[in-house]
């Protein structure tokens, strides 16, 4: 939902205002945090088995989406680090492989040992970014800057999961503290643009705020009814780009209908953005259902496993799922 809303503001409204800046202050850090949080659950899976799975579920959809985009729209530049918007799949693949590669070499340890280990890994990643940037095509092909910026949030999620950090954040005043810091950092960044340094603080404060407030609700019945969006988030992410449409007039209307104290009407923007995002998401779910009816298309675009029994070729010697 957050990704779709951000892109509706950016690409549909052609208006990077308060709502856009608010969403982009935390939504990608949050996704990588959650990916790292779940990575601990799969920590004991064999490295090569996990690598094969991520090749199928992340890298294959990334390549398929780029090829389809080139066929349908054209002008795909593989040396553009955004990769027509699908950079998230590539960067998450790289972060996951890096994580499991390190865990293959360095086994489990206490929180101090893990903290030292991942600090060293991040510093190596940070300085290697400068080295790789000497080769611009390689740097953008790998979306290397995104990996360097977002990998710390992946490891943060891993720490939260492995060491149950939430137990230290369950005091009533702590979520409020993080929320105040999130707002403060957001205002400072908006006014003075301190760059990535303050960006990390803003991302961490946002994640801690949301995690403290919403993690206890994860087992709530109401939340579970909305889980369909979470379970299909990668599929929605892939499809929604093809359903976005540009209506810059809405962006101009948002600015023209501004309140006296601000240069834009944030309430109007939020309502319109939410409504259009919901329509796009339901469109994604319909297309997803159609694609999933074909096992080969679902394999290419969503990385779903192929069961030869479902193809009707029950005598195939390779009937095991691949």
Sign of CA dihedral 208, 209, 211, 215: positive
pLDDT digit string, tens, across residues 111-129: 999 999 999 999 999 999 9
More confident residue, 194 or 151: 151
pTM of the predicted model as reported, rounded to 2 decimal places: 0.87
- Average pLDDT of the chain is 82
pLDDT at 264 (0 to 100): 61
Neighbours of 280 (CB within 10 A): 24
Structure-block tokens of residue 272: 């319109």
Kindly list the domain boundaries of the chain, sorted by start residue. Answer: 2-311
Report d(CA 29, CA 157) in Å as an integer: 10
Structure-block tokens of residue 194: 């301190």
pLDDT digit string, tens, across residues 266-276: 777 788 888 98
């Amino acid at each position: 939902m957050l990704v779709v809303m951000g892109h509706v503001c950016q690409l549909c409204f052609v208006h990077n205002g308060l709502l856009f800046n608010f969403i982009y202050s935390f939504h990608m850090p949050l996704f990588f945090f959650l990916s790292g949080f779940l990575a601990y659950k799969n920590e004991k899976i064999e490295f090569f088995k996990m690598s094969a799975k991520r090749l199928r579920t992340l890298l294959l959809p990334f390549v398929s989406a780029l090829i389809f985009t080139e066929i349908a729209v054209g002008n795909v530049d593989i040396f553009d680090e955004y990769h027509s918007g699908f950079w998230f799949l590539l960067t998450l693949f790289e972060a996951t492989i890096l994580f499991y590669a390190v865990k293959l070499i360095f086994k489990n340890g206490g929180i101090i040992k893990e903290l030292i280990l991942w600090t060293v890994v991040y510093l190596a990643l940070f300085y290697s970014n400068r080295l790789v940037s000497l080769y611009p095509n390689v740097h953008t092909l790998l979306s290397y800057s995104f990996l360097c910026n977002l990998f710390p949030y992946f490891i943060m999620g891993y720490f939260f999961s492995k060491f149950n950090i939430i137990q230290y954040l369950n005091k009533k005043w702590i979520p409020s503290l993080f929320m105040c810091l999130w707002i403060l950092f957001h205002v400072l960044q908006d006014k003075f643009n301190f760059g990535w340094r303050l960006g990390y603080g803003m991302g961490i404060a946002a994640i801690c705020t949301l995690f403290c407030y919403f993690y206890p609700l994860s087992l709530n019945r109401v939340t579970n009814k909305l889980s369909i969006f979470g379970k299909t988030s990668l599929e929605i992410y892939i499809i929604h780009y093809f359903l976005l449409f540009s209506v810059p007039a809405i962006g101009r209307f948002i600015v023209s209908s501004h309140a006296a104290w601000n240069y834009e009407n944030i309430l109007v923007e939020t309502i319109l953005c939410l409504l259009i995002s919901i329509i796009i998401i339901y469109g994604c779910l319909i297309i997803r259902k159609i694609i999933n009816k074909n096992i080969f298309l679902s394999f290419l675009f969503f990385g779903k496993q192929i069961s030869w029994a479902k193809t009707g070729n029950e005598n195939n010697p390779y009937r095991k799922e691949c």
